[in-house]
Amino acid sequence: MSTKKKQNKVLLEMLHSKDAQLRNLHRKLFPEEYDFMYDDGFDARLRKRGINPMNQEYQKNVNLRRYELGVKPYMSKTGVKQHNLTLLISSFDYCKRALNEKKDHNK
């Protein structure tokens, strides 16, 4: 294998590792974004139309938790209607920041 191919392989492995960390943290902190995997046909059709099939209490708890973290609500504004949402970030941005802070803290 050429030196260039070896360098590319190392770079790809490094990127995959970083991406895997991000995905794993995201799944742990924001499991609601993976609820769709358990949808039946009816729920899938609702989501396709932009309707969250989860019950209102669940949506409220999820969105309040997300709001406390500074993250945008998921699929609805249930529980956070009165709050200013313009300063909130995406869940992936939250995870990226968390990983960067962890990396900076470990230096």
Each residue's pLDDT tens digit in the chain (107 positions)? 678 777 766 666 765 667 888 999 999 999 999 999 999 999 999 999 988 899 999 999 999 999 999 999 998 887 777 777 888 999 999 999 999 987 776 66
* Boundaries of every domain in the chain: 19-105
Q: What is the pTM of this model?
A: 0.74
Amino acid at 5: K
For residue 3, how far is the Cα from the chain centroid? 37
CB 32 within 8 A of CB 62: yes
Residue 36 token pair = 């769709």
